[in-house]
Amino acid sequence: MGMTANLVTYSTGRLHLPSTTTANIITKFSDFVADTYLGRYWIISISILIEALVIPSLSGFGTNQFEDKDEKEKSTMDYFFSRFYFVISIGTFLGVTVEIYIQDYVSFTWGYGICCFIFCFGLIVYWSQTRKYRYKKCMGSPIVQILQVLKAALGKRKFKSPSIDTLYEETPETARIHHTDQLHWLDKAAIIDRDDYQIDGSVIQNPWKLCPLTKVEEVKMVVRLLPIWASTIFFWNIRAQLLTFFVEQASTMERSIGSFQIPGDSFNTFYIFGILIASVFYDRMIIRLMKKWKGKHGTISIGIAFSIVAMVIATFTDTKRINVVNSMGGNLTTLPISCFNGTAWLTNNISYGKLYHFYALLTLLSSINFIFFVLCVIWYARTTKNGVQMESIVSSLDEEEKYAMEMESTLTASAKKDRE
């Protein structure tokens, strides 16, 4: 985070890039590094190693340390995630304060070297506890499961919609999901065709051609969540302003306290403080309220609503900042003209543009996105109320195999009876 937060200052100060270009490349930094230094092959390899293998696995590996069947450990899992994010925020706080100060007033070499040392130290600590971790057996990728259901359903798209009783099911009865009528075309992935039988009458185990009904229902649940997931993407567009234009705005302010000057990049400290405070309240209040609401959609909607409020405040703040610049004679400088015969919103010098118009646009788009999110949640709640409920899952592999063998023998007997 110390390197990321200081990229704006490094790009404008050391590389002498325009502010608009800097704001654009911060979110595309890997492309810049790929073209300038490492090449596309190595930047893809490194990015996959870090992003795909490390970052998404941290929270998932953390959940493996808790047993879902143990109510005490299950309730502790929520507190684990809040503390997990709290510790990350502390590291981010040190990155945007101490690390940035070293980069600005000592050297970037020392700053990046310290980041490398801390990374290696954390890796050693992580490896040192290898024997104490809990490990769970790999159950396969959910993406592969989705592709299997889609391919099987598309392969049998010309079949008529079957009745529930004729659909293929091998999942233990205690681990099944209630069937739903939504997205019923996916049910065709569980249709047993003649080609799905072997010579002895048993069903061919090919998940790309035939999927159990429970697996189909799991894919339906994921598809229902896609609109909600899509409505949260725009939130990260709001968050991206913290590392781009907010830093440039802070750099134009009077930041001196006596003889000490606060680096503009360190103004992200207020953002980190907000996270630290929110983490404390999350443990004390939000988790309890969330249990009363019986869901996490309320907390997500609060987060999106706060992003709208943040953009409204940013709009008025930048309007005030521009008025101060104009009162000091800043408007006497030649202004860039856009193709619409007016002053450009985003200019190389943000004091001569209309950044507040850009923030107002983000406010409008975020408000529309919030309405879309609420509608998606209402729709999802209705579909869930109609019968999408996950029953208790049996974790014992022996018991699952027992049920699977019984189900397979039943299907084999019925298939032989139909042939006779």
Q: Cα angle vertex 191, ends 169, 151, to 5°?
A: 100
Taking phi over 0 as left and psi of -120 to 50 as alpha, with beta for the rest, 329 belongs to left
| 152, two tokens | 């099987």
Check if the beta carbon of residue 126 is closer than 8 Å to that of residue 309: no
Residue 375 and residue 317 in one domain: yes
Residue 402 is predicted with a pLDDT of: 46
| 189, two tokens | 């992935």
- Residue 310, domain CATH: 1.20.1250.20
Residue 88 and residue 157 in one domain: no
> Which of these, 286, 271, 293, 303, lies nearest to 369 by C-alpha position?
303
Residue 76 and residue 180 in one domain: no
Residue 333 is predicted with a pLDDT of: 46
Residue 14 and residue 126 in one domain: yes
Residue 368 is predicted with a pLDDT of: 92
Q: Cα angle vertex 215, ends 211, 218, to 5°?
A: 150
Check if the beta carbon of residue 5 is closer than 8 Å to that of residue 95: yes
R_g (Cα) of the chain, nearest Å: 28
Residue 77 is predicted with a pLDDT of: 72
**Cβ neighbours of 35 (radius 10 Å):** 11
Residue 287 is predicted with a pLDDT of: 62
Residue 183 and residue 120 in one domain: no
N residues, the chain:
420
Q: Which residues pair with 177 in a beta bridge?
A: 390
How far, CA to CA in Å, does 154 sit from each of 149, 162, 196, 248?
A: 8, 15, 15, 51
Q: Distance between terminal CA atoms of the chain?
A: 69
DSSP secondary structure of 280-293 = HHIIIIIHHHHHHH
Q: Output the tens digit of pLDDT for each of the chain's 420 residues.
A: 545 555 555 565 556 666 555 555 555 554 555 455 555 445 445 554 555 455 556 666 676 677 766 667 766 776 777 777 777 778 777 877 787 778 777 777 787 788 788 878 877 887 888 888 777 776 667 788 888 888 888 888 888 877 777 777 777 776 777 777 778 788 888 888 777 776 666 777 777 888 888 888 888 888 888 888 888 888 888 877 877 777 777 777 777 777 777 776 677 777 777 777 777 776 666 666 666 655 556 677 878 888 888 889 888 888 887 787 777 665 544 444 444 455 566 666 666 667 788 888 889 999 998 999 888 888 877 766 554 444 333 333 344 444 444 544 554 444 444 445
Residues 6+ apart with CB under 8 A from 68: 74
Match 């010579």 to its residue by tokens: 199
Residue 205 and residue 119 in one domain: no
Residue 20 is predicted with a pLDDT of: 55
Buried b / exposed e over 9-27, threshold 16 CB at 10 Å, is bbbbeeeebebbebbebbe
Check if the beta carbon of residue 114 is closer than 8 Å to that of residue 102: yes
Residue 211 and residue 267 in one domain: no
- Domain span at residue 287 reads 2-137+232-253+262-383
Largest CA distance in the chain: 96
Q: Which residues pair with 203 in a beta bridge?
A: 197
Cα distance between residue 136 and residue 127, in whole Å: 17
Residues 6+ apart with CB under 8 A from 203: 168, 192, 196, 197, 210, 408, 411, 412, 415
Residue 168 and residue 84 in one domain: no
**Number of domains into which the chain is organized:** 2
Residue 32 and residue 119 in one domain: yes
Residue 289 is predicted with a pLDDT of: 65
Cα distance between residue 264 and residue 255, in whole Å: 8
Residue 28 is predicted with a pLDDT of: 57
Give the three-class secondary structure for 63.
helix
Residue type, 303: G
Residue 114 and residue 247 in one domain: yes
Residue 217 and residue 328 in one domain: no
Check if the beta carbon of residue 191 is closer than 8 Å to that of residue 168: yes
Residue 357 and residue 411 in one domain: no
pTM to 2 decimals? 0.58
